[in-house]
Structure 1
Amino acid sequence: MVKKFLDQVYETEGDAATRALYDEWSASYDDEVTEHGYRTPRRLAVAMAKVAADTSAPVLDYGCGTGLSGAALYGAGFTTIDGADPSPGMLAEAKARKFYRDLIPLDLTRPLPFAPDAYSAIAAVGVISTGAGPASLMDTLIALVPTGGILGFSLNDHALEDAEYTDGVQRLKDYGHIARVEEYGDHLPGLNLNSMIYVFEKA
């Protein structure tokens, strides 16, 4: 019997515990989320492609996991995609997909290894959420893109019920960043779970 992880992920706390869970999950991740009709990567990638000034410019798939999000970005028209993730197991799965120009291991105890303005677009699909990345990641990632660049991310129903995350979205707006897309829809329909996708243009 294949172990299931979706019922654990939203309750996991701490970088080390989260990395260990995703490492263990890496081999069966795609099958488990696909079983429930995982829609958010495609929804966000299509929305970002409509907003992006140039889909041939490098895009960072932050928290790329096994590469489902990279596949969605590629399918939406992005042609130069780098992935980054703290889980070696997930990165190994992503490498096999061959959508990525480069795959970057992350050490979450250290500053992010990206130069400002290296990417005109950053995607964080299913990354900013309870059991994953903190709301402050919105601020960290949008700081890395140039003025006019875009940050795309999603908040599932669990995150939308947590004021830390909804306050984070409002903070981006208060700083003057432009919400080009805010769209609520299917996340994991097999579990009756939805998500809001956002695409912000940096002011």
Structure 2
Amino acid sequence: MNFDKANAALDSVYSADSPERLAKAYADWAATYDSETASLGYLLPFLITAWVARHVPAGEGPLLDAGCGTGLSGPSLKALGYGDIVGLDLSDDMLKIAGSRQADNKPYSELKKAMLGGPLPWPDRHFRAFFSTGVFTIGHAPASGLHELVRITRSGGHSIFTVRDQVFESGGFQGVFDELTEAQKWRPVEQSPWFRCYAIGDPAALVKTFVFEVV
């Protein structure tokens, strides 16, 4: 049953204790990721497009899908009129599936392998905005990764991302938010209430979406 397999795969990625183990967990999951997260009612790759559309006019870019996974967000944003989207992920296997979507109106202009929390391969102020879902969660990207994402986002651009409830305090996200605000690197624009990231499974799994404007 997809539901049971999806929960087992989630346990595997959440319990990964190193970047290598996390990449291996996603490599093992890549082929069935889309169908199994769909069985849980995984909302985030599609719902994030609402915040992107609210703050970034259609046609403006480039946009960075930071932690794009299998590229579920790209086609939705393409349908909404966004044409210059770059995908970033740590998993070759997930990027391969994201690349296979290129036959479907080529939602991604570029796909790159890199890890959030380390240096990113773009110059300062390169992107109009970045968006990220399911990445700032248990056993995944650290809050410190936001510094590098903000560096590559242009002034007046937007940072749009979700954070899982279980890591918000323990991962020091508020501290990083405050650092970037006090350094006048960004200013807060919007935050959602906590909401379920799986419409069907795991009702206790909550996330919040944050939007900041880069200064």
Whether these two folds match at TM > 0.5 is yes
Provide TM-score, normalisation by structure 2.
Answer: 0.85
Q: Report the counterpart of residue 214 of structure 2 in structure 1.
A: 202
Q: Check whether the contact 1:48–1:199 (CA below 8 A) recurs between aligned residues.
A: no
Worse overlay, 44-53 or 71-80: 71-80
Count matched residues.
203
Partner of 2:187: 178
2:30, 2:14 → 1: CA distance?
A: 16
Name the CA shift for 1:76/1:173 in 2 (closer, same or farther; >3 Å).
Answer: farther
Equivalent position of 2:164 in the other structure: 156
SS, match of residue 57 in structure 1: coil
Q: After the TM superposition, which parts of structure 1 deviate over 4 Å for at least 4 consecutive aligned residues?
A: 107-110
Residues 107/63 of structure 1: CA separation in 2 closer, same or farther (3 Å cut): closer
- Contact 2:181/2:187 (CA < 8 Å) preserved in 1? yes
CA-atom RMSD, angstroms?
Answer: 2.2
- 1:59-78 matches, within 5 Å, as 59-78=63-82
Structure 2 counterpart of 1:26, which letter? A
CA contact (8 A) 1:129 1:135 kept: no
* Secondary structure of 1:126's aligned partner: strand
Pair 117,90 (structure 1): closer, same or farther in 2 beyond 3 Å? same
Q: Partner amino acid for 1:45?
A: T
Higher relative contact order (CA 8 A, sep 6+): 1
Q: Percent identity?
A: 30
Deviation larger for 192-201 or 38-47: 38-47
CA shift in 2, pair 1:119/1:13, >3 Å: same
CA separation of 1:163/1:106 partners in 2, compared to 1, >3 Å: closer, same or farther? Answer: closer
* Aligned equivalent of 2:124: 116
Q: Is the 8 A contact 1:40 1:125 kept in 2?
A: yes
Aligned position for 2:45: 41
Greater Cα offset, 65-74 or 167-176? 167-176
Shift of 1:39: 1.2
Code of the residue aligned with 2:206 in structure 1: it is N
State the AA in 2 paired with 1:201: E
Which of 48, 58, 63 is the aligned partner of 2:62?
A: 58
Post-superposition offset of 1:144: 1.0
What 5-or-longer segments of structure 1 have no aligned partner?
Answer: none
**Secondary structure of 1:104's aligned partner:** strand
- TM-score by structure 1 length? 0.89
**Aligned mates of 2:116, 2:159 — CA distance in 1:** 20
Give the distance between the partners of 2:22 and 2:42, measured in 1 at CA.
20
1:135 to partner: Cα distance: 0.7
Q: Is 1:187 matched up with 2:197?
A: yes
Output one character per residue of 1:124-174: Cα deviation in whole Å (capped at 9) or x when no partner.
211122211011011110111111111111112222352522332333333
Residue identity opposite 1:95 in structure 2: G
Gaps of 5+ in 2: none
- CA deviation after TM superposition for structure 1 residue 91, in Å: 0.5
